[in-house]
Structure 1
Amino acid sequence: MPGGSSLFSGFRVLALYSNHVPHALRFHKKHREFYLLTAAGKCFHTYSVNKLGIVSVSNSLSDDINVLAADRMLVFVAAGRLVSAFARNKEVVMCYHGHEQEVRLLLPLGDQLVSADAGGDVIVWDVQGGDIYLRLHFDSASFSVSAMMHPSTYLNKVLLGSSQGALQLWNIKTSKLLFAFPGWAAGVTALQQSPAVDVVGVGTATGRIIIHNIRLDETLMSFTQDWGPISSLAFRTGDTAPPILASGSPQGHIAFWDLERRHLLTQQRHAHNTAIAAATFLHGEPLLITNGADNAIKVWIFDQEGGGARLLRCRQGHSAPPTTIRHHGNDGKNILSAGQDGTLQSFSTVHERFNKSLGHGSINKKKEKKKKKGLTFEHLRLPAITALSSVAARQSDWDGIVACHRGRLATTTWNYQRCTMGDHHLQPPREHRTGIATAVDITSCGNFAVIGSSSGRVDVYNLQSGLHRGGLGAERAHSGAVRGVATETLNQMTFTAGSDWLLKFWRFKTRKQEGELKLPAAPASMMLHRDSGMLALALDDFTLLVVDIETRRIVRKFAGHQGNINDMTFSPDGRWLVTVAMDCTIRTWDLPSGSLVDCFLVAMAPTSVSLSPTGDFLVTTHVDSLGVYLWTNKSLCGPVGLRPLPADFLPTEETLPGVTADASEQEVTSEDFDDAYESAEQLGAELVTLSLLPESRWKSLMHLDTIKRRNKPTAPPSAPPSAPFFLPTVTGLTPRFTSPVATEETQSRLLGSSLLTQRSEFLCDLQAALQTSCFDRPLSLLKDCGPAAVSVEITCLTSLGGGATSPGGGASLLPAFIQMIDSMLASGRDFDLAQGYLALFLKVHLRSLSQDPVAMAALLGLSNRLEAGWAELRTSFDQSMCLLSYAKSALL
């Protein structure tokens, strides 16, 4: 078996948008649009600010990205000690080696790049050549560089801020310290140029904001933020824009300061769940872009009364790793994901614009609505979801999702269509409210929910009313915690598994037990495939059992995992069982043969898995990862040979899939690297191009005899009336006057010998092209001729002599014409003309060709080229027709 998985291949990762690295913003003059760059692990994403749609994903680096910066042409990325320059937002075009510590700051400055590392080295690079122009070293104990900016209109000047609080203005061309600012007894965390020349904004670690004039060394104003250090500063720009300064905090709040009245204008609390990584105003627009480590990108618009902002656009995933994922619906396009951040979200495999956020669970929904706007209370929020079940059968009538929360007995309902938490908190009667909810399942009809708890109780609830409809057993269904519940398709039987090593079978309507099965170990989880009636149980001893619910017997037992089995899922036809465990393996078990058919390793342990109802994608989540990973099922694309794997099989690691750009979005490239125009001559080396002439020019060549018979006049032509004021002209596109001719009395009826040997311009150029092997000139002449003229020229190829020794040398023009057609097919240009000319040529000269060995040899080589060309075209046609038929069948 080859390395990796033979059944699944990485496709893409969903819901990864941003991390703690500050974003970069660039304006594309050709597209007249702003683009946003955010880091996501070892690569960075490019988004269109207008729609926040991803347009490009860069190639991966060896380490995680620490810093992002961009100018008009390139994107600069620092990963560890290496600084790389990306062109077209994808490929690395230059690497800058020279830092010995991790790079923390980047500043593009014209043809130069300034970088600072944790060891105190500041290096000025030549962007084009990659050489070091200047190296400065600072003692980290006295001046540790923590912020860096280029003051507007200050040529070759860089302002450096330190964690000790001092600032220094350097000339990077002359390597001189121009001025040193003593600071404000607090470490500098942010530096930002204001719209006014000579004025900069300084953010400190104590929460103080200083607006300072660096030319006069004078503090104009200062503000104090009560939420901790300043993580980001941004000035609003524009001729008519009010003077506003935005400051970010580590708590996710944003403060807006009025610089004219020198007071706090408004505040946006909990703009992000984590620290504000960066905030940037779009030039001349009332829009603010923010990103943070909570995996969110947000665009705020200032159109509220009093200068407040509201959320305009957002791309947000889980701020903590997801733990439970399940497909919702039967089309396999929507994935429900519950994360450790307590939110429930839906991600679409089609396009991210179909993503939904169902929000965060609340203990008392009505009470939270009565709270003041802009304030959230952590004690009202529910903890993370540990188990969930969903059915789309009655979701338009009432809630179709039920979820269990960590450490709570009451379960919550959610409405997928309204994207909100439901009104019901399902919990047993007061006398039985002990333990916590551990397992949940919704019946296939969508009317009832079956919930198991750690106390051993299994209760049934009506989803429409939220009322309790009884429990299984007299008091408790199991003597230990319930690890799994399931109901079959017709709601006749209910199956429960508990930590007492028992699998029990219950009648759903009467709530009475009809049997039980003793298990070899305590079950950890349970999964039922309703269509096949197969019930899978993951045990605490790392083994798997498959039980047939009809015969109530164990039909398969699998062993091989070396860690706790976190989750499992069935294929739509019930043939495969896919399991994931803490040993970082994803295994596929074949139930008919009872063997392991696929196994591969991943870098991070998978926590949950789900196979779509259509079988096209396998979805996984992993430890310490915020993304939802999609794997393509190779068996749907072609035959896959699956063989039982030996007991000592050693799996190999499969790379986790990355982010891909949407095909619907326009890919952005650097302005100086736009794609060059490719003419038909350039494309001819790879593609077949047509002549773009009217069809009558080449389609009528095979039917000239029929056309002549159809257009033959019924009466002989009569001479037109004399018109001496009209000069006779020659027919054609270019008007030319005819030469004077002799009268009938003086004109001879015999043709001279010179007229018999006279050649046309096309025949002369065709003869000359044999020496240079360049047939562009005769081909252009033939293109200008109509069908009748083309027929005359091709007919005259052998009418000027009887053989090679004739004065005209007519026999030598047959191979020349064949070579011209061969050059047309070899270049891939004028494919339609080549076929039409060749068809008429063979029709007229087939008998002469059979008697000329030179022409027959050339014709044989032309036949081989024709067959090869048609084979390629036929393959392309077949692929296109197959794809078209598939698309039509999908629409029907």
Structure 2
Amino acid sequence: MVQAEGKLLEGGLEEGELVALGQRTSLYAPFRVLGLVTCEGSGRMLGGTSSPKPCFYELGIAPFVVVPLGRCLQLYDGRTLRLLSLSNALPSRITAVAHLGRERLVVATQHSLHITEQLRSRVSIETAPGGCIVGLYAFGNGVFVAVDAGERCARTYNRDNELVSEVFFGEDITPNGLIVHPPTMLDVVCIGSDQGRIALVDICHSRILQTLDFSKHGAVTALSESPALDIIGMGFHDGSVIIYDIGRGSILDQYNLRMHLPLGTSLTVNALCFRNDDANAFPHLFSFHSDGSLCIYDLEARRVLDTIPRLHRGPCRMAFFYPREPILLTIGDEDNRMNMFICDSPSGAPRLLKYRAGHRAPPTRIRFIGEDYRQLISAGCSDQQLRVTSTVVSHHHRELSQVTTRLRRARKRARQMQHERAIEASDEFALDEDDPDTASLLPPVTEFAVSEARQNDPDLANLVTCHLGRSEAYTWRYAENHRYRHVLRFRGDASTDLDQGTATCVSISTCGHFAAVGLSVGHVDLFNLQSGLHRWRIRDAHHPGGVAGVAFDGSGGLLASLGSHDGRLGIYRHQSREKVADIVVHSPGLQLIWSPVSDLLAVSCADDFSIKVFEAASGRCVRWLRGHTARITDICFSCQADGRQILSTSLDGTLRTWDLVAGRCVDVLRMAAAPTSCAMSPRGDFIVTTHVGHIGICMWHCKAYYRGPSEQGNMVALSSRAGNGLDVEALWRRHAVQLPDLAMSWDPVVSAVADATASPENNPRCVSLTVEPIDDAHCGVVFSSQPESYWLLLPYLDEIKEQNKATRESDSVTGTQKPPPPLVAELHDGYREAADASVSPGIEDRRPLPDSIASSFVDALQRADFATAAKRLDALTPAAADVEIRLLPPEALADALSFFTWRLQSERDFELAQAQLRVFLNEHAELIMKEPALQHGASKCLRALDSSWLRCEDTLSKVLFLCQYLRDSV
């Protein structure tokens, strides 16, 4: 590796150029990330760093919530919880945010402050290099306070963004960003610390008025203002909650939850909020703890009113009541969830009104679904969720309910009976479907299969899942967002089938009626999705060991199964269970996929980390793709249009693109985090990936969809550079491409300009990584972009003229004939004026051009500029092109023959060149036969015509043979 780096640096490339070079070589560009609502990952994934507090503000009566995520800001509607806007990415991670007024925000990063308007940065303020801003508080008139934990100080800025005061704390106070402002104390803020002390700071006179010492309770973890004047709530690390009167300097009340929460519960208070809609009727205080539990305090009775466990999966970043409304909004820190509650019960307990959520653990499998293929279905192994994610609209994200329709109706009836008879519901229907900790949740999803064939049929499931430790497979209807009633379970003889094993893989047939399930004991079962009944079982299909993968072919007539230990690939007929082929893979298998447009099967191997491609008809291995250095996590074929590429992800941190025709890797995308799954959209415009430690779904643009293939960098073109000391594999392994950000976008036009700027012509030290255009002699026949009527009408203009001449003669008998309109609108102005002159009926329409008028087409022919001549001729209408060709002067015929020879040899605009050549020969064939000088050019044109037709005929024969083969195989 060190030698490879030395070769790269010896080639004259600097470190920055190498990074840009490694990113330009990829076929994919990072676009955006999906599924992030309130967090980027759990606290353990992000190294335990605390997340910045969101910001709430109102414009008139419309509430808005700003949630900082990484380097971006997300703006949500406070009523519908829909994502309204997304900010541009800031230079570094956001540490705090506050509302200045109207649509202006102040955003803090580690070493700078940014004033934003409508989420667009307007002003940037640099801070101390050694500091770290952890908290912000804005007074509403443009004045704000920034708390710096690194410098242990609080700075005040005026409305002109100028520093006006600075207060430094001692060694006994390390501010942690918690700030509140008592309304009755002007220019005074209360700042919490990690040592359990709260400082009252006068920002106008730059002094500390008082320090409240609560160090025996640990760090201050939550501060909140109450509707009563000079009253604040304090939360501490040990779970204590203190109600303090700042004006009098006394403790009004104190609570400790050790006796109210279950043993072993984390007591740290993360958020406090007072109910403010009716303080006299509901004097309640809500405290949220690090395990996600909620405690409600009755301040008038001085007691704990209620405790609700596991309201969030993990700590709560922020909780607040809407002004003068009984609506509570909570924002989770680790569960990627935002909940809205309404407190409309007599006891004041909240009930869930609406929520916005995403995966709370990294997803491990992802696939495309839907008619428009703008939706994704993803499964997380740790969070036990099955979610549908939209690539277009964020509020279409949803989780599939694990409660069937039958069970939901039964629970509804039980609630009605409980209400009517005032009795408790039976234990059978006592499960709360919104509670994630109930026994109704299925184990984590290990594999799933989805089909769009019968998605409009309400009697058929279109999604089947396998779960950890379960021998049965479960059916779903993803359009209806719930689990289907059928459970795919083999009901055999208990004496012979004591060990059912677990379901390891699943596949749905092309017709959508059948599902094949592979088991860990080596059996393969087939089920009917409409009735849920078991059809047949192949016993010991792979024994010893289990089934690693099952797949149906494109027609649904064949079923393939792969063994996880025996290294064999079996192909069976769907109806008769007859074994068609038994292929030896010579390696334990990990995954099996069957191309939807061909007869190829791809198998990922466990021992050598390679991919083997087999032909189902002959059973031979046609491609052996090697290059990964760690376990392959997922493989998939490219878009349904061609299926000529395979995408593979591996724990070595790379996503590789393999070309089946060339039989080698054409692109390597080294990522910052190891990918666990990948999928390409059927249109081929983008791919999606999931990664270790990331709960978001990353989208990557396919550059080949927006540009020509000649502009893509790949390993085929780079292999020619190996002799110059440029190790491409080492380049990709060394420089990882960063994962997409929330606000990251990719413009094909801008990227094309950037790539052109970095080309060798503009930078002599940069190595060109673009693929040269494919030689026309090695490609098929290329047709023109003209409409079909254009080249079909061109050879038959004589017949149309004869019909029009008969019509004009019949019209001339009845009355005076008007001057005919000009035949060609694109001819020279002199000819247009001559055509507009009055013409007697007896004069023939075909007239030679005046000698003073020269056609630009003829000029291009005489200069031997055939490309310009072709553009000029193709730009004309059929009638104009007919006149240009027929009125060629005799001295230009030799150049015209050379022009048509060149055009036929270029293998472009095949049908248009044939039509134009036919018009040329019909008009000038007699003169060519009489002139010996023209016969030599005509013979060369004939040879070019024969060669072009042979290539076209060969291409058509191959296509017809392939169509016949596919029809016979079906």
Evaluate the alpha carbon distance shift between residue 622 and residue 202 of structure 1 in structure 2; reply closer, same or farther with a 3 A threshold.
same
Evaluate the alpha carbon distance shift between residue 661 and residue 600 of structure 1 in structure 2; reply closer, same or farther with a 3 A threshold.
closer
Which one-letter code corresponds to 2:73 in the other structure?
F
Equivalences for residues 730-769 of structure 1 within 5 A: none
Asked whether the 8 Å contact 1:533–1:550 carries over to 2, the reply is yes
Partner of 1:883: none
Q: Does 1:351 align with 2:393?
A: yes
Partner of 1:601: 670
How far 1:476 moved relative to its partner?
A: 4.0
Which one-letter code corresponds to 1:250 in the other structure?
S
Evaluate the alpha carbon distance shift between residue 82 and residue 150 of structure 1 in structure 2; reply closer, same or farther with a 3 A threshold.
same
Give the SS at the match of 2:214. coil
Evaluate the alpha carbon distance shift between residue 61 and residue 146 of structure 1 in structure 2; reply closer, same or farther with a 3 A threshold.
closer
Q: Quick check: 498-507 or 351-360, which moved more?
A: 351-360
Q: What is the TM-score when the length of structure 2 is the normalising length?
A: 0.63
Give the SS at the match of 1:412. strand
Partner of 1:385: 445
Asked whether the 8 Å contact 2:542–2:568 carries over to 1, the reply is no
Asked whether the 8 Å contact 1:9–1:632 carries over to 2, the reply is yes
Which one-letter code corresponds to 1:94 in the other structure?
S
- CA distance in 2 between partners of 1:453 and 1:101 (Å): 58
Evaluate the alpha carbon distance shift between residue 518 and residue 538 of structure 1 in structure 2; reply closer, same or farther with a 3 A threshold.
same
Partner of 1:249: 289
Evaluate the alpha carbon distance shift between residue 258 and residue 374 of structure 1 in structure 2; reply closer, same or farther with a 3 A threshold.
farther
- CA distance in 2 between partners of 1:538 and 1:515 (Å): 19
- CA distance in 2 between partners of 1:407 and 1:374 (Å): 24
- CA distance in 2 between partners of 1:374 and 1:186 (Å): 35
Asked whether the 8 Å contact 1:298–1:311 carries over to 2, the reply is yes
Partner of 1:521: 587
Structure with more helix by fraction:
2
Partner of 1:639: 708
- CA distance in 2 between partners of 1:353 and 1:165 (Å): 41
Determine which of 239, 244, 247 is the counterpart of 1:207: 239
Q: Does 1:491 align with 2:556?
A: yes
Evaluate the alpha carbon distance shift between residue 470 and residue 632 of structure 1 in structure 2; reply closer, same or farther with a 3 A threshold.
same
Determine which of 546, 568, 571 is the counterpart of 2:613: 546
1:566-618 CA distances to partner (integer Å, 9 max, x unpaired)?
11221212122122222222222222232333332222221111112232331
RMSD over aligned Cα, in angstroms?
3.0
Evaluate the alpha carbon distance shift between residue 494 and residue 306 of structure 1 in structure 2; reply closer, same or farther with a 3 A threshold.
same
Percentage of matched positions with identical amino acids = 31
Partner of 1:229: 268
- CA distance in 2 between partners of 1:130 and 1:383 (Å): 57
- CA distance in 2 between partners of 1:222 and 1:373 (Å): 36
How far 1:200 moved relative to its partner?
A: 0.8
- CA distance in 1 between partners of 2:194 and 2:476 (Å): 48
Determine which of 86, 95, 98 is the counterpart of 2:128: 98
Partner of 1:656: 739
Q: Does 1:503 align with 2:583?
A: no
How far 1:350 moved relative to its partner?
A: 2.5
Partner of 1:437: 503
- CA distance in 2 between partners of 1:261 and 1:87 (Å): 45
Determine which of 42, 51, 59 is the counterpart of 2:88: 59
- CA distance in 2 between partners of 1:589 and 1:546 (Å): 11
How far 1:432 moved relative to its partner?
A: 4.6
Q: Quick check: 8-17 or 261-270, which moved more?
A: 261-270
Equivalences for residues 611-630 of structure 1 within 5 A: 611-630=680-699
Asked whether the 8 Å contact 1:211–1:222 carries over to 2, the reply is yes
Give the SS at the match of 2:88. coil
Partner of 1:458: 524
1:40-59 CA distances to partner (integer Å, 9 max, x unpaired)?
22222111213322233223
Q: Which runs of 5+ in 1 are unaligned?
A: 663-892
Determine which of 25, 29, 39 is the counterpart of 2:55: 25
- CA distance in 1 between partners of 2:90 and 2:477 (Å): 41
- CA distance in 1 between partners of 2:116 and 2:109 (Å): 13
- CA distance in 2 between partners of 1:338 and 1:344 (Å): 5
Q: Quick check: 556-565 or 653-662, which moved more?
A: 653-662
Evaluate the alpha carbon distance shift between residue 299 and residue 486 of structure 1 in structure 2; reply closer, same or farther with a 3 A threshold.
same
Which one-letter code corresponds to 1:16 in the other structure?
L
Which one-letter code corresponds to 2:708 in the other structure?
P
Report how many aligned residue pairs link the two structures. Answer: 658
Asked whether the 8 Å contact 1:388–1:440 carries over to 2, the reply is yes
1:128-160 CA distances to partner (integer Å, 9 max, x unpaired)?
4453721313324x7765733221121121223
Determine which of 168, 171, 174 is the counterpart of 2:202: 171
- CA distance in 2 between partners of 1:237 and 1:622 (Å): 43
Partner of 1:535: 601
1:343-382 CA distances to partner (integer Å, 9 max, x unpaired)?
00001122123222114589x9797742368765455533
Asked whether the 8 Å contact 2:446–2:467 carries over to 1, the reply is yes
Asked whether the 8 Å contact 1:401–1:416 carries over to 2, the reply is yes
Q: Does 1:273 align with 2:313?
A: yes
Asked whether the 8 Å contact 1:146–1:163 carries over to 2, the reply is no
Partner of 1:563: 630
Partner of 1:806: none
Evaluate the alpha carbon distance shift between residue 661 and residue 620 of structure 1 in structure 2; reply closer, same or farther with a 3 A threshold.
closer
Q: Quick check: 284-293 or 60-69, which moved more?
A: 60-69
Give the SS at the match of 1:446. coil
- CA distance in 1 between partners of 2:342 and 2:744 (Å): 26
Evaluate the alpha carbon distance shift between residue 337 and residue 515 of structure 1 in structure 2; reply closer, same or farther with a 3 A threshold.
same
- CA distance in 2 between partners of 1:613 and 1:203 (Å): 52
- CA distance in 2 between partners of 1:143 and 1:90 (Å): 32
Determine which of 183, 190, 203 is the counterpart of 1:159: 190
Give the SS at the match of 1:469. strand
Partner of 2:924: none
- CA distance in 2 between partners of 1:588 and 1:297 (Å): 38
Higher-Rg member (1/2): 1
- CA distance in 2 between partners of 1:177 and 1:299 (Å): 38
Evaluate the alpha carbon distance shift between residue 78 and residue 481 of structure 1 in structure 2; reply closer, same or farther with a 3 A threshold.
farther
- CA distance in 2 between partners of 1:374 and 1:220 (Å): 37
1:190-215 CA distances to partner (integer Å, 9 max, x unpaired)?
11111111111111223232222111
Evaluate the alpha carbon distance shift between residue 490 and residue 305 of structure 1 in structure 2; reply closer, same or farther with a 3 A threshold.
farther
How far 1:233 moved relative to its partner?
A: 0.8
Q: What is the TM-score when the length of structure 1 is the normalising length?
A: 0.68
Asked whether the 8 Å contact 2:503–2:517 carries over to 1, the reply is yes
1:725-778 CA distances to partner (integer Å, 9 max, x unpaired)?
xxxxxxxxxxxxxxxxxxxxxxxxxxxxxxxxxxxxxxxxxxxxxxxxxxxxxx
Evaluate the alpha carbon distance shift between residue 408 and residue 373 of structure 1 in structure 2; reply closer, same or farther with a 3 A threshold.
closer
Which one-letter code corresponds to 1:251 in the other structure?
D
Evaluate the alpha carbon distance shift between residue 381 and residue 28 of structure 1 in structure 2; reply closer, same or farther with a 3 A threshold.
closer
Determine which of 352, 362, 375 is the counterpart of 1:334: 375
Equivalences for residues 108-187 of structure 1 within 5 A: 108-109=138-139, 111-119=142-150, 121-127=152-158, 128-131=160-163, 133-140=165-172, 147-183=178-214, 185-187=216-218
Asked whether the 8 Å contact 1:253–1:276 carries over to 2, the reply is no
Evaluate the alpha carbon distance shift between residue 138 and residue 464 of structure 1 in structure 2; reply closer, same or farther with a 3 A threshold.
farther
Partner of 2:480: 418
Which one-letter code corresponds to 1:384 in the other structure?
P
